[in-house]
Each structure stands twice: as C-alpha cells, then as structure tokens.
Amino acid sequence: MEHTLPHTISLLSRTPAALDALLRDLPEAWTLRNEGENSWSAFDVVGHLIHGERTDWIPRARIILQFGETKAFEAFDRWAQERESQGKSLGQLLDEFARLRSENLGELHALNLRQADLERRGRHPALGPVTLSQLLATWATHDLTHIHQISRIMAHQYREAVGPWNAYLGVLQCAGHSAP
Amino acid sequence: MEHTLPHTISLLSRTPAALDALLRDLPEAWTLRNEGENSWSAFDVVGHLIHGERTDWIPRARIILQFGETKAFEAFDRWAQERESQGKSLGQLLDEFARLRSENLGELHALNLRQADLERRGRHPALGPVTLSQLLATWATHDLTHIHQISRIMAHQYREAVGPWNAYLGVLQCAGHSAP
C-alpha cells in the first residue's frame, strides 16, 4: 500500500506498549540472552530503538526539510546502545523508549506535514536520494523489523527445548536477516 | 536453555496483551491484508491462535497424561479460522484469545505438573514420540512464531513505501518460513 501519515503514526504509537506488554518483568533468561557472538538480546534491541528515537528519525526529517539533498544524514551508530544502556534495567529502557516515542510523535505532529513536504528529498550517506515519505515509512517498518528480531531471539532460547517440533516452527528457520 | 515451566508460563501469559497493544484499533489496511495468495493476515493469525487454545495445547497435554504414547494427537486444522473467525471483529478475536489463554493457564496450573510428568511421552501423528515438556515449550515458541509472522505481514504492506531502505530492513528479506 501507499505510505500515509495516519497509517504510519498508528503503528509508531503502538510499538512501545506492545514491547512493554511482551517484555516487562520477563525472566532475564528471555531478555538478556542473544543468538550468539555479535548478536543482540531483546534488551539490546530496546536500547537500539531508543538510540533511533534520539538520533535518527526526527533529526533526519528535520535535515530533509531544512537542507533537502544538499546535506547528507549523519551515519547511524548501530552499536551505540552498548554504551548508552549500561547500568540500566529493561524496565527503565522501556520507559525511556515510550517517553521518547511520545515526544517524537508530538514533534512529528507539530511539523504539520503536507503532501508536498512528504515528497521532499534528502540524501542518505549510503543509499543516495530518499524522500521524507520513505523515511517515515521506514521508521514504522523499522519497529516491525525489531519486533520480528525480538521474537526470533527469544524463540532461539527454546530451540532445543521444543524437540522435533523445531521443524514446524517458522521462527526457528529464520536466518536473522537483520543481524549485523 | 532448558525448558522450565515458569519460563514458559511467563511468555504464554504475556502474548495476548502484546498482540492487543500492537493490533487493537489499527487501521484495517494493516490488519486485514496478507502477503498474497494463500497467506494470512494478522486477523487470520489471531484466529489461528484461538483455534490452538481450543484444540491443541491443553487437549494434547491431557492426552499425554492420560494415554501416553498409546493414543496419537488429533491432527491440527491450520485453516479452521476461515470458518471460526467469520463475522467477528479483530477486537472480538483479541478478547477471545485473551480469555481462552487465561483459562488454559488456569488449567495448566491445576494440572500441578511435576518433573516426572514433564518427561512423559505422547505421540504426534507426524513427528512421532514427543514429551510433555516439548509440547509446552512449543506452545510458547508457537506464540513467538506468530508474532514473528505478524510483524512480517504488516511490514510487507510498506515494502514499496520504504523505497531504497528496503535493503536495510531485515523483516523485508524474510521469506516467510511459517507460510503454508
């Protein structure tokens, strides 16, 4: 389907509560384990989502609106959460994600974007020209990619426990397309 | 990690609220569209989870405890939701799933399972011998496989909208391992 701002906002506004319902107060055996070397735990993923709220989506939207294609976005640090999540609990990260997302949706609303704005182009440092519409659709789809990843990371912890049902569970066949 | 009953219950008890937070009152453009012919929408997946609560997990646990390997499980109808969800809203399905899951967790608690029970074997009509422990681990991992699937189905709707970011979004590379 075409990108529309109301559809994007409807998804973006639900992700923090969905992750909260899934992850808060789960045993750490589910939330702190990863899929092996250089992979992320659910805890790491929530930290990554927080870093995106701070440095990626709204800041990039502002760059497009202010500079168009004349200024490329800053590259995104995919490992920032290693520093930034240190010493925090998963509950604190979930609270922080919900607060930042809510603030950013407020900022998005305040931009009062029209169709002509959504068609404006910016410049991604690796991908080249992209539109504001594509950036906002990617914000929502990026949430989904990480819900997809979290379900896969957690399922991995029961890979042996399910025994022969392994063959029937799609999530256990997933090769981790978003792994670093 | 090893299967433990508390870890399994901690996940099973969260799935209804997580799906509720993600899906309730979302525009139907997200929840009623699928990934193409013979594939499921998020609405279909919730119907499938309901059918599992009615016919799969607790009924199979009872067969293991009562008959061991002498009686194979009934085969599971993967398309039952086509009939059973007809005329219902997604909100009604989410309510029904939450109610049935809560009842089934009550039944699971009432079974008062000990380690020796978890090691008991039953017979899957296609997979052969399986333990009660494996069945319960599969129940939880089956939730995760469908959260994984729902995130992929919804992301598919924005496949074009994200433009060149398509290449960076893992969920859009996922081949749909659990598709029929």
Backbone angles phi, psi at A119, to 5 degrees: -85, -5
Contacts of A13 in chain B (CB under 8 A): none
> In terms of C-beta density within 10 A (0-12 exposed, 13-18 middle, 19 or more buried), how is residue B114 classed?
exposed
Distance CA A124, CA A63 (A): 11
Supply the pLDDT for residue A180: 40
In the predicted model, residues of chain A with pLDDT beneath 50 are 179-180
pLDDT at residue B180 is higher than 80:
no
Burial A14-45, CB ≥16 within 10 A → b, else e: bbbbbbbbbbeebeeebbebbbeeeebbbbbb
Q: Which residue of B has its CA nearest to A162?
A: B134
pLDDT tens digits along B2-23: 999 999 999 999 999 999 999 9
Structure ipTM over 0.85, yes or no: yes
- Residue B40 to chain A, least CA–CA distance (Å): 14
SS3 label, residue A60: helix
Place of tokens 């002509």: A116
Cβ neighbours of residue B167 closer than 8 Å, sequence gap 6 or more: A127
pTM as predicted:
0.96
CB-nearest partner of A27 from B7, B33, B155 = B7
Contact state of A11 with B26 under an 8 Å Cβ cutoff:
yes
Terminal alpha carbon distance of chain B: 29
Supply the pLDDT for residue A176: 77
